[in-house]
A and B are shown apart, each in its own frame.
Chain A
Amino acid sequence: MATQIIMDLNGDTRHNFDAKDVKALLEAERRFKALTDAGFTAATRTASGESVVTRTFDPTVEETLFFPRLVGG
C-alpha cells in the first residue's frame, strides 16, 4: 500500500492507495499533479532515509510527502 501525505491545517492528511489498482493509481497521479501545480513540493525518502524532491509521479514510491510553498516569514 502506497501513501501520499499532505501537510495541512489538521497536521496532515493521508491517502493510501494500492499501486496495483489502475484506477487508484490514476487518482494518485492526478492528486500529485494537482498539488505540485498548486505549488506544493513533493518529497520522498531513499532507503537510507535521505530526503529527495521529486517533480514527476513515480508509481513505485511507497511514501510521498507534500508541503506547501515556502515563503519568507
Chain B
Amino acid sequence: MFVTLLCDANGQLRRPVAACLDLARGFREWYLRPSTREQRGLKLLREWLSQEQLAQYDAHKYFEVVGCHSGKRYRIHHGNGANVIELDDAALPRTGWCFVPNDHLVAGDVMLAQKIALETDERGALAAANNFTPR
C-alpha cells in the first residue's frame, strides 16, 4: 500500500520536476548568453583579425600577434584583462602583460585594441603595461 502510494507520488512529481529543470536550463542559457554589446565587440574583432588569427580564435579562444618592434609572439586570450602572454621561442608562456583601454570595454574591443597596439606600437603598449608570471 505504502509502496504503491510512493510510486504514484513519484509519477505525479516527475512531470513538474522536469518542467522546473527545463525552466532552470532555459534561464541559465538566457543568463549566460553574450549581451548585444559583447556580440558587437566580438563582431568588430572578427572583422579586424587576419584569417589566420580568426581561425586560431575560433579553435582556441586565443590568437597570436607579432610585436612590431621585437618580432616576439604574443598570445591574446579571450578576456578583458591579464590576457596577453608573451611566448618564448618554443611557444611556451614567458611573461604575462596586462594593459587595457582606460574605458570599460567588452572583451572583443579589449582584445582588438591589444592586437593593434602590439602590431603597431609594441614598445608603447608594454611601457603602459604591468607584467605578471603566467600560470
A-B contact pairs, 25 of them (CB 8 A): A7-B105, A7-B112, A9-B104, A10-B40, A11-B37, A11-B41, A11-B106, A12-B41, A12-B109, A41-B117, A50-B119, A52-B120, A65-B44, A68-B103, A69-B101, A70-B113, A70-B114, A70-B125, A70-B129, A71-B99, A71-B101, A71-B102, A71-B128, A73-B100, A73-B130
Q: Number of residue pairs across A and B with beta carbons under 8 Å? A: 94
Contact A68 B105 (CB under 8 A): yes
**Is A37 close to B, CB under 8 A?**
no
* Interface of A: prevailing SS: strand
Query: Which single member of A5, A50, A70 contacts B100 (CB below 8 Å)?
Result: A70
**Is A33 close to B, CB under 8 A?**
no
Interface mask (B35-60 → A, CB under 8 Å = 1, otherwise 0): 01111110010001010000000000
A9-B113 contact given A51-B119, A52-B120, A73-B81, CB 8 Å threshold: no
B120 proximity list for chain A (CB < 8 A): 43, 51-53
Interface mask (A29-68 → B, CB under 8 Å = 1, otherwise 0): 0000000000101010100011111000000000001011
Contact B102 A69 (CB under 8 A): yes
Query: In the complex the two chains form, what is the Cα distance from A8 to B41 in whole Å?
Result: 9
Contact A9 B121 (CB under 8 A): no
Query: Which single member of A12, A49, A70 contacts B102 (CB below 8 Å)?
Result: A70
**Is B75 close to A, CB under 8 A?**
no
Name the CB-closest residue of A to B102: A71
B38 proximity list for chain A (CB < 8 A): 11
Name the CB-closest residue of A to B131: A72
Q: How distant is A69 from chain B, measured CB to nearest CB, in Å? A: 5
